[in-house]
């Protein structure tokens, strides 16, 4: 049987929620990844180091003590984040970044930032104290077409942020366009990007052809084929600016299959399998380890992991749903056949 073995990977962009949902979804990530950058967009956003430490304890308690998994915490940036909190976060061994959500851009982004220029003093503090800024890069103007929101964000905000704060480490999260790839490639080493499995595997036809497919709906939304190809090229290029971040974002099945369905693909149980499939299709399995296991750790100045994982080439069917107690979550690509499986 064909197999590949790589250094244990990290998921540099993950939503695990809290409460019962956390307990249901976290084991799937911990089986695949050694560490994950944990997004702070809970219903009550994680805005302080103190809250991040409480959330971190909840995450650790959601797994059996013998499981080796390290949550890497982030804080939710708001207009009222203080310079002191930025200093505290930079000094904490558990907090690794701030996340900027433009207000209204996505799930639980109501407390996000409405006036990005007004928080430049916060970016200056992050640059000074050396803590990365993670960006959901979409404008929220009602007039802006949803397929253009990432490109317009880059032109309107990101070019200027990178120019004003040349030493600020920035991750443009879940890039979806050729323009984002081109931007990240063209600027300094301090600027990197994460790429999700859904954006490597699917274009926007997967949302709308033959019926509306709520489980393929995420934000930023899937784009045209030319953009998907640009993302595959970036991910498989060996350029360390591009690394793995699943953006696995669980929502209850009933909230996805809904007249106003939530954004987010639950890919955690099959994440490495999906990436292996995308890299194999591009004849680039030899580039998977750098993307999944090295470049993210290097960007965050973390040691690379030591263990390994092995993927086997074998067909298997993704379950219809993952259920526990009253919770049912439909995974990305439910009931489809995958051709890789974690051993």
Omega before 266 cis (within 30°)? no
Task: Answer for the pair 46, 52: CB distance below 8 angstroms, yes or no.
Answer: yes
- Gap between the Cα atoms of 234 and 236, Å rounded: 6
Residue 99, binding choice from Zn ion, ligand DOR, none, Cβ under 5 to 8 Å by partner class: none
Strand pairing category for 133-135 and 170-172: parallel
Output the six-digit token pair for 109: 């982004």
Residue at token pair 């709308």: 208
Does 107 interact with ligand DOR (rule: CB under 6 A)? yes
Does 267 interact with ligand DOR (rule: CB under 6 A)? no
Would you call 314 helix, strand, or coil by DSSP? strand
**In this structure, which long-range contacts are made by residues 82-85, counting pairs with CB atoms below 8 Å and at least 24 apart in sequence?**
83/121, 83/122, 83/125, 85/47, 85/48, 85/49
Contacts with 251 (C-beta within 8 Å, 6 or more apart), sequence order: 107, 262, 264, 266, 329
Q: Which residue of 85, 127, 138, 247 would you call a contact of Zn ion, by CB under 5 A?
A: 247
Residue whose CB is less far from ligand DOR, 4 or 158: 158
Candidate segments 52-60, 120-128, 223-231, 247-255, binder of Zn ion by CB under 5 A:
247-255
Residue 293, binding choice from ligand DOR, Zn ion, none, Cβ under 5 to 8 Å by partner class: none
Output the six-digit token pair for 180: 């984002």
Query: Least Å distance between CB 171 and Zn ion?
Result: 11
Q: Which residue of 89, 218, 311, 318 would you call a contact of ligand DOR, by CB under 6 A?
A: 218
Q: Roughly what angle, to the nearest 10 degrees, separates helices 225-235 and 178-186?
A: 30
- Gap between the Cα atoms of 204 and 206, Å rounded: 5
Q: Which residue of 23, 96, 99, 136 would you call a contact of ligand DOR, by CB under 6 A?
A: 136
Could you tell me which of 193, 209, 202 has the C-alpha nearest to residue 242?
A: 193
Residue 138, binding choice from Zn ion, ligand DOR, none, Cβ under 5 to 8 Å by partner class: none
Active site residues: 247
Does 41 interact with ligand DOR (rule: CB under 6 A)? yes
Does 11 interact with Zn ion (rule: CB under 5 A)? no
Could you tell me which of 336, 287, 286 has the C-alpha nearest to residue 316?
A: 336
Could you tell me which of 10, 321, 24 has the C-alpha nearest to residue 194?
A: 10
- Gap between the Cα atoms of 108 and 272, Å rounded: 27
Q: Which residue of 77, 180, 219, 318 would you call a contact of ligand DOR, by CB under 6 A?
A: 219
Residue 302, binding choice from ligand DOR, Zn ion, none, Cβ under 5 to 8 Å by partner class: none
Q: How many residues bind Zn ion (CB under 5 A)?
A: 1
Residue whose CB is less far from ligand DOR, 36 or 218: 218
Residue whose CB is less far from Zn ion, 40 or 88: 40
Residue whose CB is less far from ligand DOR, 40 or 290: 40
Q: Which residue of 45, 214, 245, 264 would you call a contact of ligand DOR, by CB under 6 A?
A: 264
Residue whose CB is less far from ligand DOR, 186 or 258: 258
Query: Least Å distance between CB 148 and Zn ion?
Result: 20
Q: Which residue of 90, 139, 195, 249 would you call a contact of ligand DOR, by CB under 6 A?
A: 249
Enumerate the β-bridge partners of residue 322. Answer: 329
Residue whose CB is less far from ligand DOR, 27 or 264: 264
Could you tell me which of 27, 40, 96, 37 has the C-alpha nearest to residue 70?
A: 37
Does 329 interact with ligand DOR (rule: CB under 6 A)? no
Q: How many residues bind ligand DOR (CB under 6 A)?
A: 10
Phi, psi of 209 (to 5 degrees): -80, 130
Q: Which residue of 32, 106, 253, 305 would you call a contact of ligand DOR, by CB under 6 A?
A: 106
- Residues lying near ligand DOR in the complex (CB under 6 A): 15, 41, 106-107, 136, 218-219, 249, 263-264
Interface ranges with Zn ion (CB under 5 A): 247
């Amino acid at each position: 049987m064909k197999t590949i073995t790589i250094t244990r990977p990290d998921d540099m962009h993950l939503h695990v929620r809290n409460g019962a949902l956390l307990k249901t979804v976290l084991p799937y990530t911990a089986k695949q990844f050694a560490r994950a950058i944990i997004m702070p967009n809970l219903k009550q956003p994680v805005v302080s180091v103190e809250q991040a430490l409480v959330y971190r304890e909840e995450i650790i308690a959601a797994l059996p003590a013998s499981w080796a998994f390290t949550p890497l915490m982030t804080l939710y940036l708001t207009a009222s984040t203080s310079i002191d909190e930025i200093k505290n976060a930079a000094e904490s061994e558990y907090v690794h970044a701030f996340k900027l959500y433009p207000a209204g851009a996505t799930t639980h982004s109501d407390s996000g930032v409405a006036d990005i220029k007004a928080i430049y003093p916060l970016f200056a503090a992050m640059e000074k104290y050396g803590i990365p800024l993670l960006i959901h890069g979409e404008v929220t103007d009602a007039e802006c077409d949803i397929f253009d929101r990432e490109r317009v964000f880059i032109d309107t905000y990101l070019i200027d942020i990178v120019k004003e704060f040349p030493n600020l480490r920035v991750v443009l999260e879940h890039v979806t366009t050729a323009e984002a790839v081109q931007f990240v490639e063209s600027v300094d080493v301090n600027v990197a990007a994460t790429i999700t499995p859904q954006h490597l595997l699917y274009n926007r036809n997967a949302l709308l052809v033959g019926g509306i497919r709520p489980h393929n709906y995420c934000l930023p939304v899937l784009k045209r084929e030319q953009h998907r190809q640009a993302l595959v090229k970036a991910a498989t290029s060996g350029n360390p600016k591009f690394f793995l971040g699943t953006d696995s974002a669980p929502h209850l099945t009933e909230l996805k299959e809904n007249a106003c369905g939530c954004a987010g693909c639950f890919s955690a149980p099959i994440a490495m399998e999906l990436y292996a499939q995308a890299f194999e299709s591009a004849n680039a399995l030899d580039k998977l380890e750098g993307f999944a296991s090295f470049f993210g750790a290097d960007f965050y100045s973390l040691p690379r992991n030591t263990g390994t994982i092995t993927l086997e080439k074998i067909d298997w069917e993704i379950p219809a749903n993952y259920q526990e107690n009253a919770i049912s979550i439909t995974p990305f690509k439910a009931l489809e056949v995958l051709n890789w499986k974690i051993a």
